[in-house]
Structure 1
Amino acid sequence: MSDSEDKESKTEAPSDKKVRDALEKGNIPFSKETPIFASILGILLVLSFVAPSSTKFLTERLSLFIDRPQDFRLNSGTDAAALFQALSLEVSSFLIPIVTILAGCSLAASIFQNTPSFVSERIRPQWNRISPASGWSRIFSRAGLVEFAKSLFKFGTVTIVSILLLRSEQHKVFNAMFSDPTLIPELMLSMAMRLVSAIAIATIVLVAADLVWARFKWHTDLKMTPQEVKEEYKQLEGDPMVKARMRSLAQDRARQRMLAAVPKATFVIANPTHYAIALRYERSEASAPIVVAKGKDLIALKIRETAEKHDIPVIEDKPLARSMYDHVEVDRMIPPDFYKAVAQILFYILTRSK
């Protein structure tokens, strides 16, 4: 069956178990565009609040290397290492806030979509991840075409926004060639902020659409065929054929134990061929007779045959046998309603035996 035919046959909504299993395996709806959008917002935050002051501070510190080079000794390897360490600290103090903001934005975008959890299945090596055939099929699948369309949209958006911005700012760029060089960083920062802001606004629609698409595709991929629904139901509730077979085996074992207990009975009450109840009465065991076996039709005949084989009295009483069959349970004392009738039978058997 081809993939298209298999997808067409998946007409049933995913069950709760199918959804839980997917989540446990790390198969979650995830929009790749949301972290990218969050990173763009992070860059905008950096350009707006961090870059102006940090860049100015870093520029002032690094300008010392140019304005006062005599203050830095390079007479030995130790001096070079100390200079490199000082330079690394200055650059790190500039980069750490930027990296922290960008990482925080990306992490927040992931948490916004799904609750974080560790799933070993996601990091387990799988051949289809590196298989050329699998990769080729993913590229030309519907999901691959959607990713290609999103890439085209992003490329076109960035290109158009950049061209429009540069055209609107071209006179400022040309004038900067004849103005104070110290104003160029401020101009570049202003243009970068406008560019990033425009890109962020333009990609909002893409991000919203991708969020909807990711959840729609995830739900569609989890759909089940009618056969899968039946198989899952069998797993949850048990295969009806297996359950019936197990129930039959349990009943057979119960009948065997019951028939094995008939020789211990004191007497049997029977409706000649349809019902039979074997009772045992010993004053030292219980205050009332105990049902050791009961059955109808073939089981009733087996009880009678076993009783006759072991010289156990069989008393034929159609109404009593029929009524007791519906109200007594094996290995339990008879209900009080039958005390009088059974006592009369016991008196008859004891009298006859004497």
Structure 2
Amino acid sequence: MSEQDQESKTEEASEKKVRDAVERGNTPSSKEAPIFAAIAATLIAGVFLMRDGAAAMARHLSDFLADPAGFDISTSGNTTALLLHAAMQAGLFLWPVFALFLVFGLSAAFLQHPPQLALERITPQWSRLSPSKGFTRIFGSQGLVEFGKSLAKFAAITVTVWLILKSDKNTVVTAMLRDPSALPELILTIAIRLLSAACVATIVIVAIDLVWTQKFWRRSLRMTKQEVKDEHKQAEGDPILKSRRLSLARDRARNRMMAAVPRATVIIANPTHYAVALRYVQEEGGAPLVLAKGTDLIALKIREIAEANDIPVVEDRALARSLHAAVQLDQMIPPEFYKVVAELLCLVYAKKVA
């Protein structure tokens, strides 16, 4: 991506774009975290496993180490048995170390982001073989950052190792005068000190790298103003089409409402601005039902249909306004209207009888 394209991306990534990136496997991942996990695993193995494991392995192989010529390897069966015994003892010594490395390596990955299957990340892409893009990755801004981190890591570890070895210079020089059996313990002690110092130096780099990786990932997902508008349109729909759909839905609802007016028992009007069509049939049970309501032109249309079907129209300004505001279509009137509507229906039925 060119610098000009990146500069045009001024808007923070939306939640949808972040979610899509994660689903594709594009997640922030620090390359220094696995390295720190490996160093830490080596340190823990050296402190808790190496000493006792090596001693146990030496005990089991002491006979072979003491008298290697005393073992019969004249036949393939004896040789195989000897090799299997040595391999088993080596396996008992090494499997806790391998398990420790596996746990620390997986933890370094899973703690940054949960595991998921992203086929797009492993699908072959010819663009990844492009020399120009490879050159950009190596010598671009991200490549320079990776080079800077590697240089800082090398410098920190080199200085740390130099300081540790300088403090142990006399011990290292006089090691040749010691009992050879004490050399493994001495080497392990110095190695543990070096690893401890390397962990301290590396953890600072890892912390900085985690923050930088997250920031760089968010920056790479930034959007242009046009992309934000396009995504909003996709999520909410085209405003023009959405307006048309709403208009069609309102028209259909209005037509269904008008088709129900001929079934009304009475129309309550105000006198032209509001109109509410009520249906009440004693055999159907329940309270009066609102079949239609409207204002202005719709109210006039309701009255027109009512007059064409000989439905009584009663003008009551207060009642018409109150019913229009309080009751929705296809709902029964609330209890506070029972008395006044009942009186009105009595008058309507009395006129029909007369």
What is the TM-score of this pair, normalised by structure 1?
A: 0.76
Separation of aligned partners in 1, 2:66 and 2:345: 120
Separation of aligned partners in 1, 2:46 and 2:288: 93
Match of 1:252 in 2: 251
Separation of aligned partners in 2, 1:41 and 1:166: 20
Query: Runs of 5+ in structure 2 lacking a partner?
Result: none
Match of 1:294 in 2: 293
Question: Where in structure 2 are the equivalents of 1:94-173 lying within 5 Å?
Answer: 94-110=93-109, 113-114=111-112, 117-121=114-118, 125-128=122-125, 131-133=128-130, 135-163=134-162
Cα displacement (A) at 1:81: 0.9
Residues 97 and 307 of structure 1, relative CA distance in 2, 3 Å threshold: closer
Match of 1:9 in 2: 9
Separation of aligned partners in 1, 2:343 and 2:5: 73
Question: Where in structure 2 are the equivalents of 1:209-220 lying within 5 Å?
Answer: 209-220=208-219
Cα displacement (A) at 1:80: 1.4
Aligned residues with identical type, % of pairs: 42
SS in 2 for 1:39: helix
Match of 1:338 in 2: 341
Aligned Cα root-mean-square deviation (Å)? 3.9
SS in 2 for 1:144: helix
Amino acid in structure 2 at the alignment position of 1:132:
L
| 1:236-283 Cα distance to aligned partner (Å, 9 max, x none) | 666655554443333222221222223333454555654444444544
SS in 1 for 2:294: strand
Residues 5 and 228 of structure 1, relative CA distance in 2, 3 Å threshold: same
Q: CA contact under 8 A between 2:268 and 2:314: conserved in structure 1?
A: yes
Amino acid in structure 1 at the alignment position of 2:341:
F
Separation of aligned partners in 2, 1:98 and 1:333: 76
Separation of aligned partners in 2, 1:287 and 1:67: 104
Amino acid in structure 2 at the alignment position of 1:11:
E
Separation of aligned partners in 1, 2:211 and 2:286: 73
Separation of aligned partners in 2, 1:216 and 1:51: 39
Residues 230 and 83 of structure 1, relative CA distance in 2, 3 Å threshold: same
Separation of aligned partners in 2, 1:245 and 1:76: 91
Amino acid in structure 1 at the alignment position of 2:211:
V
Cα displacement (A) at 1:70: 3.5
SS in 2 for 1:151: helix
**Equivalent residue for 2:315, pick from 317, 320, 325:** 317
Residues 268 and 223 of structure 1, relative CA distance in 2, 3 Å threshold: same
SS in 2 for 1:31: coil
Cα displacement (A) at 1:21: 5.3
SS in 1 for 2:283: coil
Separation of aligned partners in 2, 1:328 and 1:47: 79
Separation of aligned partners in 2, 1:214 and 1:65: 52
Match of 1:40 in 2: 39
Match of 1:71 in 2: 70
Residues 197 and 322 of structure 1, relative CA distance in 2, 3 Å threshold: closer
Separation of aligned partners in 2, 1:259 and 1:74: 104
Amino acid in structure 2 at the alignment position of 1:249:
L
Q: CA contact under 8 A between 1:277 and 1:321: conserved in structure 2?
A: no
Q: What number of residue pairs does the alignment pair up?
A: 347
Separation of aligned partners in 2, 1:223 and 1:184: 57
Cα displacement (A) at 1:326: 4.3
Residues 148 and 271 of structure 1, relative CA distance in 2, 3 Å threshold: same
Cα displacement (A) at 1:48: 3.1
- 2:197 is the alignment partner of 1:198: yes
Q: CA contact under 8 A between 1:10 and 1:224: conserved in structure 2?
A: yes
Cα displacement (A) at 1:176: 4.8
Match of 1:303 in 2: 302
Match of 1:347 in 2: 350
Separation of aligned partners in 1, 2:225 and 2:169: 63
Query: Runs of 5+ in structure 1 lacking a partner?
Result: none
What is the TM-score of this pair, normalised by structure 2?
A: 0.76
Question: Which stretch shifts more, 37-46 or 331-340?
Answer: 331-340
